[in-house]
Amino acid sequence: MLVAMLLASPLVVAPPVWAGTGGSGGASPGGASAGAPSADASPQTAAPGAGSGGAPDAGGAPLIEDPLATATGDGITVTTDDSALLGRHLAFEGITSPASVGETIVVQRLDPTAGWVSVASGTVDTGGTFSILWRTNYVGRMAVRTVLGETATASSTGLTAPTLLITVYRPALATFYGRGFFGQKTACGQTLRRTSLGVASRTLKCGTQVQIYYGGRTIVVPVIDRGPYANHASWDLTQATAHALGITGTETIGVMAG
C-alpha cells in the first residue's frame, strides 16, 4: 500500500537553469535599466497569491529552517538532511543490528516508473553503524528508503523500510536588488517595497511560485519582476528575500519552480 501511494505521487522537477547575460547591476522593475532612486513609500502588505503575481509582504511567506530527517523501520534507523543541491553529496547515517556487520546497505529513490532505484550503497560497520554518500543526480521532492542488501531490488516491497521525503534542488546563480528601485513598479505590476518578497525571472510567468533553498533555509516566493541582467545570474531576489535567506551578494542557490 505504501509503495502504491508513493508511486501515485508525482515528483516535481525544477526547470532548467537559464544562462544569464551581462548587463546593468540588478533587475529594474519593468526590465528597465537602473535609474535614479525613488522615495520609498510606506510598506504595503499583500496577501500571498492575491492577484496575478501578487507579492506578499515579508510576513507573508514563512521561512523554513530545514531540519534533519530521521526514519526507523526494519531494524534500521537512518538520518539525513531533508534538502540538498543537485550534484552534491548527501550523507545517510544510521544504525542497524550489530548482527548485520559486513552486509551491504543501500539507499534507494522511488521512481514513478521504475519503482525503487538504488542510488548509493555502503557497508554496515562494527556496532551496526553505517554511513552512505549519495551524489545526488535527480531533482525534485522524492521518497528515499534504506534497506539491507538482500532486499535491495526495485521490485521488493520493503513496506516497513525507513522511508524519508527529501528535496533535491537545481543549483543556480542568484543576485539581489532593491536599492534604487523601491517605490517603482515591477514588470508584474507591483510596487516594490523594502518588505516585498519575490524574485525576478526572465521567462517564468508573473505569480509563479518559486521555492528557494540556501544555507539550510527554504522560502517560497512569487515571480514579481523580469531579470536579472547582471553577473550571469539566473535569478534576482528582492532585498527582503535575500535578507531572509542570509544572502549578501551573488550566490549559488537551490531552486524549484511551479
Q: Among residues 66, 82, 127, 62, which one has the least CA distance to residue 100?
A: 127
From the list 181, 225, 179, the residue with the least C-alpha distance to 202 is 225
Q: Please list, in sequence order, all residues whose beta carbon lies within 8 angstroms of the beta carbon of residue 22, skipping any fewer than 6 positions away.
A: 229, 230, 231, 232
| Equal fold, 15-64+170-257 vs 68-168 | no
Summarised one tens digit per residue, pLDDT across range 58-110 is 445 667 776 789 999 999 999 999 999 999 999 999 999 999 999 999 999 99
Q: Which residue has the higher pLDDT, 37 or 62?
A: 62
DSSP SS3 for 180:
coil
The yes/no answer on whether domain 15-64+170-257 falls in CATH 2.40.40.10 is yes
Comparing CA positions, the residue from 172, 179, 188 lying closest to residue 226 is 188
Per-residue pLDDT at 153: 58
User: Given strand 89-95, what is the order of strands in its sheet?
Assistant: 68-73, 76-81, 89-95, 129-135
What homologous superfamily is domain 68-168 in, according to CATH?
Macroglobulin (MG2) domain (2.60.40.1930)
From the number of C-beta atoms within 10 Å of its C-beta (0-12, 13-18, 19+), residue 210 rates as buried
The domain segmentation of the chain, as residue ranges, is 15-64+170-257, 68-168
Average pLDDT (33-59) is 35
Q: Is it the case that residue 159 has pLDDT exceeding 60?
A: yes
pLDDT digits (tens, 9 = 90+) for 105-133: 999 999 999 999 999 999 999 999 999 99
